[in-house]
Amino acid sequence: MAVIFGVCFASSIFLLVVWRILSSKLNCLPPGPCGLPLIGHLHMLRGMPPYKALESLSRKYGPIMSLRLGMIPAVVISSKDLAREFFNAHDANFSNRPYMIIGDPRYGFVSLATSPYIGRHWKNISKLYTRMLFTAKCIDSFSWVRSDELSHVLDFVLKSSDRSIAVDVRVLSSTFLFNIMSRILMSKRYFGHGGAPDSGVDEDAVEFKQVTQEVMSLILKPCVSNFVPSYLRWLDWQIPRYKQVRAKQDKFMQKVVDEHKKTTRESKDLVDMALESFRGDAQAELYTKASLLETLLGGTETTGVTCEWIMAAVMHNPQVLTNLQEELQRVVGSTRMARESDISKLEYLQAVIKETFRRYPPATLLMPRTAHKATTIGGYHIPKGTTLLVNSWAIGMDPAVWEDPTQFLPDRFLGIPIDIKGHDFELIPFGSGRRKCPGMALGLRAVELLVANLIHGFHWSFVPGMTLSMEDECHSVSQLKIPLQAIAVPRLPKEVYANI
């Protein structure tokens, strides 16, 4: 009896040890620093932009590391190999978004970027974008809008040059893109290219543009609601501010929807298509406004900042500017401006755009995902509900991938088949997988056209006496801390600028 008891006891001990070993292996979290109660590792992200703080931590703890953002468990990926594993093998499991207050007030997580992936609503709204708005045919059909807005840009820059006035490149590019998007989405133009409202524009539109800047600055600011469980979000004293800002935006959105409901037009814009797509649903107007707002913001702010980064990087590298102008002279000539049909022939321009996305990506951290179920990435256990961040800026600055990563060297992309569409994980400015940016092609088309013509049509120089800096600051996107002010001098005969 004693022998049997001893065998059973020894077996139990053995099984317990084996279970503990296996359990330890199965629950092997990625390495990471020690955090503090309640705030986790948020204190380590202060003093510099979050993506730089995370990159600094990854150099110590590795390309995959565990953090706690307040009380929310998170994992950060900072290498192309782990990004490839994540998007290729785990994309479906991480198809949902974590809670973000910016998507909640007023619209309640019903837009394409913030809505849950699982369910009928996301499929319906995704169809609206991918089959109706962002198809190649649809993008091509609005080439006349881009050309028309380009003519306004060129006219504005020429007048600024005649009066020896510096051009605010950020305002110029964001207004160019806002007008393109508003004409495509709402069939209406709102602003002149100096940033001033067009005649007859209602005050709600002006306020909307101003409030938009506030929203973009709020997105990445620390917010209690984003860092605590749902039962503690009531503690967030900033919620009334978010609701107030959203209410101002909604006032303009509702006016647009009401105008579309009263009128009929043969040519359908996004508002028309959304109202028709959601017809019969009690939340049709809500879904339409959320879709309109998201597309307008996404297609304006991020893309506008990209144009500014490209122009600033080129101006800081005179040889790159010379190379671009020589290519444009060779492909386009001096009797007309660059057209969309020229873009595919401008290999060096494509290299400059890629290098800008590598060195100065506006979306330094891809939009966060959350784990639907527990999984393993890079050999480490990732629990269910973990928020996952991909540090695209860190990947672009990885010396194991890029030679001289701190230098702006467009030539590195010449003759190398690396694209920015989410297939090559060395360069993923728009993300990858199910939830990559759906408006990538539309935004790129506008960026390419604007930059090509600004470079082809003008000599650019910095304003005398102004600080020449590439220092960035982080709001919803990474942007120049000091907006780019530049002097433009025409390099072509005046009559050429009307030949688009």
pLDDT at residue 219, as a whole number: 61
pLDDT at residue 221, as a whole number: 64
pLDDT at residue 5, as a whole number: 42
Over residues 172-178, the mean pLDDT reads 91
Give yes or no for residue 200 having a pLDDT over 70: no
pLDDT at residue 198, as a whole number: 55
pLDDT at residue 371, as a whole number: 94
Per-residue pLDDT of 413-450, as tens digits, reads 998 889 898 899 999 999 999 888 888 889 999 999 99
Q: What percent of the chain has pLDDT over 70?
A: 88
Q: Which residue has the higher pLDDT, 415 or 239?
A: 415
pLDDT at residue 250, as a whole number: 84
Give yes or no for residue 4 having a pLDDT over 60: no
Give yes or no for residue 139 having a pLDDT over 70: yes
Over residues 169-189, the mean pLDDT reads 90
Residue extents of the structural domains in the chain: 47-498
Q: How confident is the model at residue 120 (pLDDT cuts 50, 70, 90)?
A: confident
pLDDT at residue 322, as a whole number: 96
Q: Residue 491: count other Cβ atoms within 10 Å of its Cβ.
A: 15
Lowest-confidence region among 230-234, 261-265, 334-338, 426-430: 261-265
How many residues appear in the chain? 500
pLDDT at residue 247, as a whole number: 83
Q: Which residue has the higher pLDDT, 324 or 473?
A: 324
Q: How confident is the model at residue 14 (pLDDT cuts 50, 70, 90)?
A: very low
| Full 3-state SS string of 351-365 | HHHHHHHHHCCCCCE
Per-residue pLDDT of 376-414, as tens digits, reads 999 999 999 999 999 999 999 999 999 999 999 999 999
Q: Which residue has the higher pLDDT, 58 or 3?
A: 58
- Per-residue b/e over 75-94, b at no fewer than 16 CB within 10 Å? bbbbbbbbbbbbbeebeebb
- Cβ burial, residue 231 (10 Å; 0-12/13-18/19+): exposed
Give yes or no for residue 202 having a pLDDT over 70: no
pLDDT at residue 102, as a whole number: 72
pLDDT at residue 22, as a whole number: 39
Give yes or no for residue 130 having a pLDDT over 80: no
Count the helices and strands in the chain (H runs, E runs): 16, 11
- Residue 29, both tokens: 């979290």
Q: What is the DSSP letter of 375?
A: E
90: helix, strand or coil: coil
**Cα angle 272-259-301, degrees, rounded to a multiple of 5:** 70
Over residues 367-372, the mean pLDDT reads 93
86: helix, strand or coil: helix
210: helix, strand or coil: helix
Give yes or no for residue 6 having a pLDDT over 50: no
Of 427, 417, 293, 309, the C-alpha closest to 358 is: 427
Question: Are 50 and 84 spatial neighbours (Cβ–Cβ below 8 Å)?
Answer: no
Angle, helix 169-186 to helix 440-457, in steps of 10 degrees: 140
Residue 92 C-alpha from the chain's centroid: 21
333: helix, strand or coil: coil
Which of 1.10.630.10, 1.10.40.60, 3.20.20.70, 3.30.300.30 would CATH assign to domain 47-498? 1.10.630.10
Give yes or no for residue 25 having a pLDDT over 80: no
Q: How confident is the model at residue 499 (pLDDT cuts 50, 70, 90)?
A: confident
Q: How confident is the model at residue 104 (pLDDT cuts 50, 70, 90)?
A: low
| Full 3-state SS string of 252-311 | HHHHHHHHHHHCCCCCCCHHHHHHHHCCCCCCHHHHHHHHHHHHHHHHHHHHHHHHHHHH
Angle, helix 284-297 to helix 270-277, in steps of 10 degrees: 150
Angle, helix 203-218 to helix 239-262, in steps of 10 degrees: 140
Question: Are 299 and 442 spatial neighbours (Cβ–Cβ below 8 Å)?
Answer: yes
pLDDT at residue 63, as a whole number: 97
Question: What dihedral do alpha carbons 488, 490, 495, 497 form, nearest 10°?
Answer: -50
Q: Which residue has the higher pLDDT, 338 or 245?
A: 338
Q: For residues 241 and 225, what is the distance between their CA atoms, to the nearest angstrom?
A: 13
pLDDT at residue 7, as a whole number: 41
pLDDT at residue 405, as a whole number: 96
Q: How confident is the model at residue 151 (pLDDT cuts 50, 70, 90)?
A: very high
Q: Is 383 left (phi over 0), alpha (psi -120 to 50) or beta?
A: beta
Strand bridging mode 64-69 / 369-370: unpaired
Q: What is the helix (H) or strand (E) element at residue 405, kind and residue range? A: none
Q: How confident is the model at residue 326 (pLDDT cuts 50, 70, 90)?
A: very high
Q: Where are the beta strands (DSSP E) in 7-126?
A: 64-69, 72-77
- Residue 421, both tokens: 């569409």
pLDDT at residue 19, as a whole number: 37
Q: For residues 295 and 271, what is the distance between their CA atoms, to the nearest angstrom?
A: 11
Q: What rounded mean pLDDT belongs to the chain?
A: 85
Over residues 153-177, the mean pLDDT reads 93
Per-residue pLDDT of 243-276, as tens digits, reads 888 888 888 888 888 888 887 777 778 888 888 8
